[in-house]
């Protein structure tokens, strides 16, 4: 199965939430976007394009290969004159050389058939001295067990076969470091961070979110019956009172175009 990013039915997959303050406070330590041009590769519905603009970026260009995602992004970011969206592949965006001060790609690289081609394009798009920021989950991140906050961990406890899907599509931290170096980036570092994904008023809201499969491509590997089973499994394990705070563990790679 797997998600079809081009299907109208998945249009709302990457909208409907805002980047959390824990993401913004971390990201400004890694790259200062004030007055700068940010290219958001694989921008989805523009959640992070908007966040970069709110952080003071002078210009944000969101690139995605899916017209459906871009339609959602345009709607989500209406009124933001510093944001523009454009259709393009991560390996061939159509943008000019040295367009960007910051090249950002969140939750993109595990969907790519050719990471080196994407990194070559990222290198081409950055100005000398520009910063690449990749944010994704590695197999190590994915394998962390479920808990009251790390809800995703329960997906794999309930359906272990999903772990095989993740391990097949997600490069490890060191592999990405090697690919960044091979593409010509310098000052490469990586770190781990927890990002609050969403705060749910309670279990009903969490159940509805899971059943929508929104923003969780891995759940497209399950049938509707399996998804129902997963929701029951998780509701037995999350607090039954008060808000539920969901956090995801990410790896963030930083590099510089010399």
Binding residues for ligand SAM, rule: CB under 6 A, are: 5, 14, 42-44, 47-48, 64-66, 69, 89-90, 106-108, 111-112, 217
Beta bridge partners of 247: 196
> Closest distance between ligand SAM and the C-beta of residue 148, in Å?
24
Which of residues 108 and 210 has its CB atom nearest to ligand SAM in the complex?
Answer: 108
Which of residues 6 and 236 has its CB atom nearest to ligand SAM in the complex?
Answer: 6
Which of residues 25 and 241 has its CB atom nearest to ligand SAM in the complex?
Answer: 25
Q: Which residue number is nearest to ligand SAM in terms of Cβ?
A: 44
| 212/220 Cα distance (integer angstroms) | 10
Which of residues 51 and 203 has its CB atom nearest to ligand SAM in the complex?
Answer: 51
> Closest distance between ligand SAM and the C-beta of residue 170, in Å?
12
**CA 221 → CA 4, 106, 109, 161, 212, distances in Å?**
11, 21, 18, 10, 13
> Closest distance between ligand SAM and the C-beta of residue 241, in Å?
30
| 201/241 Cα distance (integer angstroms) | 9
Please classify residue 256 by burial: count the beta carbons closer than 10 Å to its beta carbon, then call 0-12 exposed, 13-18 middle and 19+ buried.
middle
Which of residues 77 and 203 has its CB atom nearest to ligand SAM in the complex?
Answer: 77
**CA 29 → CA 24, 33, 34, 226, distances in Å?**
9, 10, 12, 41
For residue 86, give every residue at least 6 positions away whose Cβ sits within 8 Å of its Cβ, in sequence order, or none: 61, 62, 63, 70, 93, 94, 95
Expressed in angstroms, the distance from the first to the final Cα of the chain is: 41
| 55/161 Cα distance (integer angstroms) | 39
Which of residues 107 and 203 has its CB atom nearest to ligand SAM in the complex?
Answer: 107
Which of residues 91 and 203 has its CB atom nearest to ligand SAM in the complex?
Answer: 91
> Closest distance between ligand SAM and the C-beta of residue 45, in Å?
7
> Closest distance between ligand SAM and the C-beta of residue 10, in Å?
9
| 3/18 Cα distance (integer angstroms) | 22
> Closest distance between ligand SAM and the C-beta of residue 72, in Å?
9
Closest CA to 114 of 69, 65, 149, 153: 65
> Closest distance between ligand SAM and the C-beta of residue 136, in Å?
9
């Amino acid at each position: 199965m797997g998600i079809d990013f081009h299907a109208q039915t998945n249009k709302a997959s990457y909208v409907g939430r805002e980047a959390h303050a824990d993401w913004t406070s971390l990201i400004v330590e890694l790259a200062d976007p004030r007055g700068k041009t940010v290219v958001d590769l694989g921008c989805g519905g523009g959640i992070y394009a908007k966040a970069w603009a709110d952080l003071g970026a002078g210009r944000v260009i969101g690139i995605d290969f899916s017209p459906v995602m871009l339609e959602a992004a345009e709607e989500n970011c209406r009124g933001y004159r510093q944001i523009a969206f454009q259709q393009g592949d991560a390996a061939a965006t159509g943008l000019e050389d040295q367009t960007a001060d910051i090249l950002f790609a969140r939750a993109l690289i595990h969907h790519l058939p050719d990471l080196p081609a994407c990194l070559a394009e990222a290198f081409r798009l950055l100005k000398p001295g520009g910063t690449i920021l990749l944010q994704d989950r590695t197999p190590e991140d994915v394998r962390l067990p479920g808990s009251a906050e790390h809800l995703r961990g329960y997906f794999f406890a309930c359906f272990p076969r999903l772990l095989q899907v993740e391990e097949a599509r997600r490069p490890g931290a060191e592999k990405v470091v090697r690919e960044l170096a091979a593409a010509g980036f310098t000052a490469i570092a990586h770190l781990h961070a927890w990002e609050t994904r969403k705060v749910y008023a309670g279990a009903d809201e969490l159940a509805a979110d899971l059943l929508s499969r929104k923003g969780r491509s891995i759940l497209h590997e399950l049938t509707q019956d399996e998804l129902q089973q997963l929701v029951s499994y998780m509701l037995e394990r999350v607090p039954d009172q008060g808000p539920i705070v969901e956090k995801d563990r990410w790896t963030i790679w930083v590099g510089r175009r010399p």
